[in-house]
Every structure is written in structure tokens, then in C-alpha cells.
Structure 1
Amino acid sequence: MLRIDIEPTAGAARIVIRDFVELRSESMGEVHGLDFIDNRTFVVANRDGLVAVFALPQGDPAGQGHEISPLRVIKGSRFCRLRTPGSVAVRRESHGRLSLLVCNNYTHRVTRHVVHRRWGYRALWNQVLLEQGLDIPDGIALSHDGRWVAVSSHGTNDVKIYDMSAPLGPETRPAGVLENANYPHGLRFTQDGSHILVADAGSPMVHVYASDEGWKGRRTPSRSVAVLDDESFLRGRASVEEGGPKGLDID
């Protein structure tokens, strides 16, 4: 975990790492995705295992290393078992509940696990939330108004967008599709919900998609921005699926 400052300069913003802490746990394996529940609690998706909820150690980071134990390990249920969880997004629900939306990479579906802090983040409800149209769901993001969920689909080379204003289930078809991304990975909605940024692992680009009062239908990027130079991109180009940016977030 890095403590950073983003400082404006005459040329471009400068990112300064002020402090860090290294966290290790037997419940961290092939860590692929994570999201914060609040400023002190976060959830990790391990591709080789399960989903684990952790609390940050007390005190300043001070460049220390800590061995930590999970507050809860989430496995799913008999008919909604977690398998190869890769990415996770936290959605706040009514009455203090939280939904953990998890991309199960190689079973090609998104599952929902409802937890509550009061019950130690034990899963109170598990369901298969999305499956239609997904082939290796790699990244997931929620719009800030809670209306839309976007899932990058590695095997179909696109991003599927689902309307959360209606009930969702395995047979729910995507309301919209973002096209022309080679191998979409991490993605984020802008604060006002008017754009989605998509990191393309198969190119040096981040693609920008614009809404038109919603995300229904098919659309191509309104802009693509190179975030890697050719030398850096080719250094990681082990296959056509690699070398480009993967995760991203918006400050």
C-alpha cells in the first residue's frame, strides 16, 4: 500500500510516494484485484483461491512489513461457489449491507456476495449475478449512481455493460457493448458517469468511451490515449494479449 501525493507542475502532474506498507498473508496468493470497503478495510480477489477481507494495521505505514490475517474468507455457497476470482467491486446496499461483485475469471461469470460488517463480513447471500456474453471477465466497475455495472470480457474483446435498475441474473443480456478494445482489462466510470476509461492489455492504449444519456447499444472509443511508449510496451509483449496497461483508477 502506497501513500501518495499528486502534485501539479508546469509540465504535468507529479506523483510522489510519501510512505508505504507491505502486507503479507496466507490468504493472499495470486492477487489479481482489490477494492476498498472503507478507508481501513479492503477486499482481495485471489485467482488461485478465494476472496478475503482485511483490515489495515493501525499506525503509520513507516515502510514496514506486516503479516495480517483476514477478517473473513468468502467461499460462496454450494450452488454459487467462488472459482478463480480475479476482480472485485464493492457496492453499498441499504441497511448497512455490502455487495461484493466478483469476476470468476475461468468460470466466465460474475457472482454477488452480500455481507454486513456487524456479522463480521460473513456472506449472508450468494448468487450468480451475470453470465450472458462473458468470456474471461477480467475487470469490473460500477457507475457512481449505481445504475450501471461494466465488465471487461477478455475472450470476446469487448466490455459488456448491464443495467442494474432491473433485476439481474445469469440470463440477463448486456444493455450495451464497448467495442474495439483488443484485450480490455481494468476499467472505471468517471465521476459524472459520462465516460468510461478502459485499459487495453493488448495495446499501449487507454480507450475512452462517451455515453449518450445512458450506456445502451454498441459504441466505439471517442478517443484512445497512448499511456506507454513503444519500448515499454514491447518489453512486456510476451503474447498478443500482453504488454499494455491492465489496472487503472481515477483520482
Structure 2
Amino acid sequence: MRCLILRIDIEPTVNGPRINIPDFMELTSASMGDVHGLDFIDNETLAVANRDGLVAILALPHGEPAGRSHEVAPLRQIKGGMFCRLKSPGSIAVKQEANGNVSLLICNNYTHVVTRHVVNRWLGYRATRNQRLLKRGLDIPDGVAVSRDGAWIAVSSHNTADVKIYRMSDSLGPATEPDGILRDANYPHGVRFTADDQHILVADAGSPMLHVYDRGAGWHGHHMPRSVAVLDEETFLRGRANPEEGGPKGLDIDRSNSVVAVTCEEQILTFFPLASIVGEQVPRPEHDLVRI
């Protein structure tokens, strides 16, 4: 399998952000198999989750991308502990901790559990702690995200058609009930908090929609979305092999909190201004800038 790294430049303009992709790099590795999720630990290090294997920690090659293709060996492969083995790892979220530690929150799709693995940079990303973190009510956890303030975890649950919200605490465990639930998504997949933690965006693999949930007075209780179409009907129906497919899956927000990136098999990569997603205007993909 391969991983495509894109350099993306975002320029603010009076008509919204303009996007340019001036460079790219292609990574291959024996540690990458059925890649499902990935997240940056920092600008030079990537964590990659393989549904058919383990989680690989990869160092990006030095220098400009320059369209290069690189075979890289993993710095470390995370397999879990004796009582917390990784199995079918899918989506992954990185949470920065103190003293050079990083928490990897990993959705183990087909064992229906989110595990936490604390790794230490200075020990070559060795896992110093492995724990089963969340399980109650999850049925194929497909996406995971941590709020910018580190206080909340959002986990999309494929077969229960919702996203469960948990307050981060030392008492979290497999029996912990969610503090809040985001409703009315067919098959929720990718999930992201906006930078101000006032909204959660959810990609719905079972519809052409991206759902927007407002925090309001807090993330406790049940929340219903505003929904915006990010695929046209023709593109959606082309990927509609079954009721669980056809819609957007991958989802991210850039660090400037101005652009939303959406992916699916039929529409590999499309960008939208975040303001058009969380606001009330109709979103328009930046087709004149890039659609990969």
C-alpha cells in the first residue's frame, strides 16, 4: 500500500480561502497494509493504522517532497499489551501529553473498542501504557477525534448510527457511558471538532451529507445536526453499492480552521470553505482550485 503526502498552501482571499498543491511525496512501507486511518504526531512523524495488521510510526523523509517516492521502515510498530492487543485498527487520533509522551487513540473496528496507547518520543515511540479505553455502546467504531482543548473524545459508531461523546478523565474505561450522543447520521464515519470546539463535523458514508452539530450549552445529552450536501447525486449514486456506501468517509479541517477536506472513493479529495459548512450558506467545493 501507499500513502500520498501533499503539501497544501492555503491563501485567504476576500472570496474565501484559495488552495494550491505545489508538491507531493509518495510513501511505501512494508509496515503499511490495509491502511484505514492516519494522523500526524508532529510535522515529521506519522502514525498509520492498518486494519489487517498493526499501527506503524513512520518518519517522513527529510527535505522537500519534490514528487519523490520513498520506501520507509517504521520507527516502531504498536501492537498493544498482553491484555490490550490491537485487532483490526482503523481510525486513529493523536493526543499530545506531557514529558514527550503521546497518546494514540485507536478504533479497533471489529472488536468494537477504542484503545489508548501512550508512547514516548525519547524512547523511540515505545508504548509505556496500553489500555482498553471505551467500549460501552460502540458497534464498529469508525472514527475518533479529540477536541482542541483535550477535554472531549468523539467516536462514531457505524452500526448504532450515532457519534458518542466522552469527557476525558482518568476514570474513563470500557464501562463508561457517553456524556452526549450525536444523532441522525446513517453511517457516521470521519469526525472532527472545529478549532473553537463549538462544532463537530461528521461524514456520513450512507448519504451525500456532512453533518454539523453545535455545542450549544455543552456536549451533554442528545444533539441533532444541520446537514449539507458535499456530493452531487450522480457521484453519490455511482458509489452506492449498498446502503452503507456512497457517501463521504474521510474528513479533516486544516490548522487555520478555514478549510474542510472530504474524501470518498468516487470523489477522492475535495475542499470546502469551513464557513460554508458551519454557516448557513450553500457550500461550494473549490473545483476551480483543486479536485483530485
Bucket of the pairwise TM-score, normalised by the shorter protein? over 0.9
Q: Where does residue 213 of structure 1 map in the other structure?
A: 217
Where 1:106 maps in the other structure, the secondary structure is: helix
Matched, 1:17 2:32: no
**Deviation larger for 24-33 or 88-97:** 88-97
Once the two structures are TM-superposed, the CA of residue 11 in structure 1 deviates from its matched residue by: 5.7
1:243 aligns with 2:211: no
Q: What CA distance in whole angstroms lies between the structure 1 residues aligned with 2:57 and 2:234? A: 38
**Greater Cα offset, 185-194 or 8-17:** 8-17
Residue 126 in 1 paired to residue 133 in 2?
A: no
2:236 to 216, 233, 236: 233
Q: Per-residue displacement from partner, 1:83-115 (whole Å, max 9, x unpaired)?
A: 000011111112221111100000000001011
Q: 1:74 aligns with which of 69, 78, 82?
A: 78
* Structure-to-structure mapping, 1:1-251, within 5 angstroms: 1-8=5-12, 13-221=17-225, 223-251=226-254
Which residue identity is paired with 1:90? V
Hey, what's the Cα distance between the residues in 2 that align with 1:120 and 1:166? 25
State the one-letter code of the partner of 2:169. S
- Tell me by how many angstroms 1:14 deviates: 3.9
Residue identity (%)? 69
Structure 1 residue 212, shift from structure 2 partner: 2.2
User: What is the rounded CA distance, in whole Å, between the counterparts of 1:94 and 1:7 in structure 2?
Assistant: 33
- Structure 2 counterpart of 1:238, one-letter code: A
Taking structure 1 as the reference length, what is the TM-score of the superposition? 0.96
Aligned positions, number: 250
Moved more, 162-171 or 71-80: 162-171
Which consecutive unaligned segments of at least 5 residues does structure 2 have? 255-292
For residue 8 of structure 1, report the CA deviation from its aligned partner: 5.0
Name the Cα RMSD after superposition. Answer: 1.2
| 1:200-232 CA distance string (max 9 Å, x none) | 0111110000012321101110x1110111111
Distance in 2 (CA, whole Å) between partners of 1:108 and 1:99 is 19
- Cα distance in structure 1, aligned partners of 2:148 and 2:78: 25
Residue 16 of structure 1 deviates from its aligned partner by: 2.1
d(CA) in 2 for partners of 1:231, 1:20: 30
For residues 178 and 88 of structure 1, do their structure 2 counterparts lie closer, same or farther at Cα, with a shift above 3 Å needed? same
Alpha-carbon distance between aligned partners in 2 of 1:15 and 1:226, rounded to the nearest angstrom: 21
Distance in 2, Cα, partners of 1:43 & 1:111: 15
Structure 1, unpaired ranges of 5+: none
- 1:12, 1:237 → 2: CA distance? 32
3-state SS in 1 of match to 2:159: helix
Rounded Cα–Cα distance in structure 2 between residues aligned with 1:138 and 1:240: 16
Structure 1 stretches of 4+ with a deviation exceeding 6 A read none
More moved, 38-47 vs 90-99: 90-99
* Letter matched to residue 132 of structure 2: V
AA matched with 1:91: K
TM-score normalised according to structure 2 size: 0.83
**Aligned-residue offset at 1:166:** 4.9
